[in-house]
Amino acid sequence: MDYIHLRDMQFFGYHGVLKEENILGQRFRASVSLAVDIQKAGQTDDLDDTVSYVGVYDICREILEGKPFKLIEAVAETIATTVLQRYEGQIFGCRVEIIKPDPPIPGHYKEVAVEIVRGKFYE
């Protein structure tokens, strides 16, 4: 199995349970890994033989900068579902990590994150 990774994409969105998060917004980071077969693309050097990471980036941007969700779990699920549907037959699995670097939680920590895996990943 081959993989395409889009790592540490950064967006500004309005997701969160608290009203202030929906009004002020905050930074979000996302990483997406796609389980694919890219051998043909490696041999042909043709974009039509692979999954466009520009298209996947655009999906992430539209969702993270779009309609607010209460939970980053829902953001991750929406990204994974959309990517798998849009590239049906080309992607075997999708891993999505959403990171909220500055959640409104008192205390000292680096970030909070969720990670989901949908579909099949092979080693």
Give the number of other Cβ atoms within 10 Å of residue 34's Cβ: 26
Q: Which residues, 6+ apart, have CB-to-CB distance to 92 below 8 Å?
A: 1, 35, 36, 37, 119, 120, 121, 122
* Cα–Cα distance, 1 to 3 (Å, whole number): 7
Could you list the active site residues?
100
